[in-house]
Amino acid sequence: MDRQRTDKDDEATAQERPTLKTLAFMTGLGVTTVSRALKDAPEIGAETRRRVQLVAKQIGYRPNRAGVRLRTGKTNVISLVLNTEHELMSFVSDIIYGVTEVIADTPYHLIVTPYSRSQDPLDPVRYLVETGSADGVIISRTQPNDPRARYMLERGIPFATHGRTDMGLVHPYHDFDNYAFAAEAVRHLAGMGRRRLALVTPPVGLSYYRHTVDGFADALSEVGASEVPFNTVSIDHSIEQIRMRTAQLMRRDIRPDGIISSAAAATLAIVAGIEDAGLKLGRDVDVVSKQSSELLHLFRHELLVVNEDFRLAGSELARSVLGWIGGAAPGSLQSLSEPKGVVAYRRSD
């Protein structure tokens, strides 16, 4: 049972993992022929091709990744580059699941390449490109003028960004329409009679900060509501910070009667802050929040939510990168996900 490494049993009969040589021996062909037969090259006879593929399937042949990679440079790896401090939790796992869903029946592996707050976000990307560690890269926390996208475009390595850029350069992306989110949120609140709205923004500097702020501003003037400035926090701030600042804000004379939050975790803090100030959600103020899992309505049923599907984002991003690797035009690999509208969970009781 405990088979020793008998060095001389390599007569292509070995129990070890089958290689092209094994297949060549079994079929009586040369390794070159086997290699080509497996990839449906035209100059191989139809019968030979079928025979080789049959045997390969039977013995469970799997090309050796290191061999392929060494020879061709193809890694069959997609890298997801993540900030290990900022990324909100559910976000990450959903994206990962979305990506793995798509690459599941491809030869691709997913590697997670982290970088921390202190590092230049370009570092991990540079590392990947310089060491040729991946055929494609997915980045998030995209900025309007994103050095990482520019860098990869220069080097010609396929990538997709979670979020759009604004550099006049074309590349694959997937984005949630945060302009529409903010605008719809404003309209919904206005429809409920709310007139003084505050916005808890995405991190300043990221692309979707602008989209969100613009959607907010445009819809405000459209419905004739006014903004209560709340620039002291963004969703990147700590729970405690957001809670405290919200409480401060809500204690002021001119306080908002509607708040829009770009992230579920921030919303928890916002509501806590509201209640710290002695106000009641749904009566004194309404809150519309984005969420990626259906949990906020359990938190306070008065909350209004807009759902963002990060698993979908992961899938789309993976599809885009694979598409680019496969030769599709980068410009054809862009997608925007529209919000499905504001959902109220207010119960009948």
Binding partner selected for residue 53 from its own copies, DNA, none, CB under the kind-specific 5 to 8 Å limit:
none
125 lies in the binding site for its own copies (CB under 8 A): no
Report how far residue 184's alpha carbon sits from residue 114's, in angstroms, rounded to the nearest whole number: 34
Region 42-81 residues binding DNA, contact defined as CB under 7 A: 43-46, 48, 63-64, 66-68, 70-72
Tokens 């694959």: give the residue: 172
31 lies in the binding site for DNA (CB under 7 A): yes
162 lies in the binding site for DNA (CB under 7 A): no
Report how far residue 215's alpha carbon sits from residue 187's, in angstroms, rounded to the nearest whole number: 10
231 lies in the binding site for DNA (CB under 7 A): no
Tokens of 193: 């009679």
- Judged by beta carbon, residue 56 or residue 95, the one nearer DNA is 56
Contact 289, 300 (CB under 8 A): no
* Shortest separation between residue 28's beta carbon and its own copies, angstroms: 26
CA 156 to chain centre: 21
* Shortest separation between residue 28's beta carbon and DNA, angstroms: 7
Binding segment (CB under 7 A) for DNA, from list 23-31, 88-96, 147-155, 219-227: 23-31
- Judged by beta carbon, residue 55 or residue 92, the one nearer its own copies is 92
Binding partner selected for residue 91 from its own copies, DNA, none, CB under the kind-specific 5 to 8 Å limit:
its own copies
φ/ψ (deg, to 5) at 286: -115, 150
The H or E element that residue 259 is part of is strand 258-261
Report how far residue 133's alpha carbon sits from residue 125's, in angstroms, rounded to the nearest whole number: 10
**Given 26, 36, 184, 321, the residue binding DNA (CB under 7 A):** 36
- Judged by beta carbon, residue 269 or residue 322, the one nearer its own copies is 269
Q: Taking each helix axis as running N to C, give the angle between helix 89-103 and helix 310-325, from 0 to 180 degrees, rounded to the nearest 10.
A: 40
Contact 243, 269 (CB under 8 A): yes
Q: What angle do CA 160, 164, 165 make, to 5 degrees?
A: 100
* Shortest separation between residue 19's beta carbon and DNA, angstroms: 3
* Shortest separation between residue 49's beta carbon and its own copies, angstroms: 24
Strand pairing category for 304-307 and 286-291: parallel
130 lies in the binding site for DNA (CB under 7 A): no
Binding segment (CB under 8 A) for its own copies, from list 158-166, 191-199, 266-274, 325-333: 266-274
- Judged by beta carbon, residue 112 or residue 204, the one nearer its own copies is 112
Report how far residue 172's alpha carbon sits from residue 58's, in angstroms, rounded to the nearest whole number: 39
268 lies in the binding site for its own copies (CB under 8 A): yes
**Given 96, 170, 312, 343, the residue binding its own copies (CB under 8 A):** 96
294 lies in the binding site for DNA (CB under 7 A): no
Tokens of 88: 């909100």
Report how far residue 176's alpha carbon sits from residue 122's, in angstroms, rounded to the nearest whole number: 23
Tokens 């020879």: give the residue: 71
Report how far residue 13's alpha carbon sits from residue 286's, in angstroms, rounded to the nearest whole number: 72
Strand pairing category for 196-200 and 159-162: unpaired
Q: Which residues are near DNA by CB under 7 A?
A: 10, 16-17, 19-21, 28-33, 35-36, 38-39, 43-46, 48, 63-64, 66-68, 70-72
- Residues forming the site for its own copies (CB under 8 A): 17, 60, 62, 64-67, 69-70, 75, 77, 82, 84, 87, 89-94, 96-97, 100-101, 104, 109-114, 130-133, 239, 243, 265, 268-269, 271-272, 293-295, 298-299
